[in-house]
């Protein structure tokens, strides 16, 4: 009983949060003016820019010679470990220039992103990882 009560409360909260969503989807440059680079705290950035909503777009910007990339990691564990063995390449080292590489948040579940460069050091030591849990929109 308590569980279903809590579950209902959670759904109500979620609905309320979603109603507050701007009707326009946002396009956010990851890292703001810093872009996608080694050593910037993207966990912090994601926290500051939450909540995310479905249809929001994340833009990854980096130079061709930086060796950065954008991978989608399959789950929390691979995200924590910076394990790219089952990762999906979204943007290669040359796809972050100009307007940057855009990823739309389409699914109501966590999306994990990271750069694999320098044998994973971009992710492990360079903090080049973030995750977003987009909330649904009703509009
Ligand atoms: C990055 O930011 C998060 C959230 O503010 C914080 O918990 C974490 O300690 C920071 N990491 C580093 C390496 O500074
Ligand atoms: C980056 O590399 C790609 C592929 O080689 C090329 O199409 C693009 O023009 C380059 N961008 C810059 C800013 O050099």
For residue 134, the tally of other CB atoms under 10 A from its CB is 22
Q: What is the pTM of this model?
A: 0.85
Show the domain range for 43: 25-132
| Ordered per-residue pLDDT tens for the chain, 139 residues | 455 666 666 665 555 565 555 568 899 999 999 999 999 999 999 999 999 999 999 999 999 999 999 999 999 999 999 999 999 999 999 999 999 999 999 999 999 999 999 999 999 999 999 999 999 987 6
Q: Quote the CA–CA distance of 55 and 44 in Å, as a whole number.
A: 21
Please give the radius of gyration of the chain, using alpha carbons only, rounded to the nearest integer: 16
Residue with CA at minimum distance from ligand 2 atom 2: 94
Q: Quick check: is 11 in a domain?
A: no
Residue with CA at minimum distance from ligand 2 atom 3: 94
CA of 123 to the centre of ligand 1 (A): 14
Q: Quick check: is 67 in a domain?
A: yes
CA of 1 to the centre of ligand 1 (A): 38
CB of residue 94 inside a 6 A radius of ligand 2:
yes
Please tell me the total count of domains within the chain.
Answer: 1
């Amino acid at each position: 009983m308590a569980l279903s009560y809590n579950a209902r409360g959670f759904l109500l909260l979620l609905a309320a949060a979603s109603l507050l969503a701007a009707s326009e989807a946002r396009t956010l440059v990851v890292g703001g003016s810093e872009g996608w680079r080694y050593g910037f705290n993207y966990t912090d950035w994601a926290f500051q820019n939450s909540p995310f909503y479905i249809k929001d777009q994340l833009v990854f910007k980096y130079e061709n010679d930086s060796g950065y990339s954008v991978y989608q990691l399959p789950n929390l564990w691979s995200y924590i470990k910076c394990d790219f063995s089952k990762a999906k390449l979204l943007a290669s080292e040359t796809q972050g220039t100009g307007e940057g590489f855009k990823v739309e948040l389409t699914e109501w579940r966590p999306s994990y992103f990271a750069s694999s460069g320098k044998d994973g050091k971009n992710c492990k030591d360079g903090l080049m990882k973030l995750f977003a849990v987009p909330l649904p929109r009703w509009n």
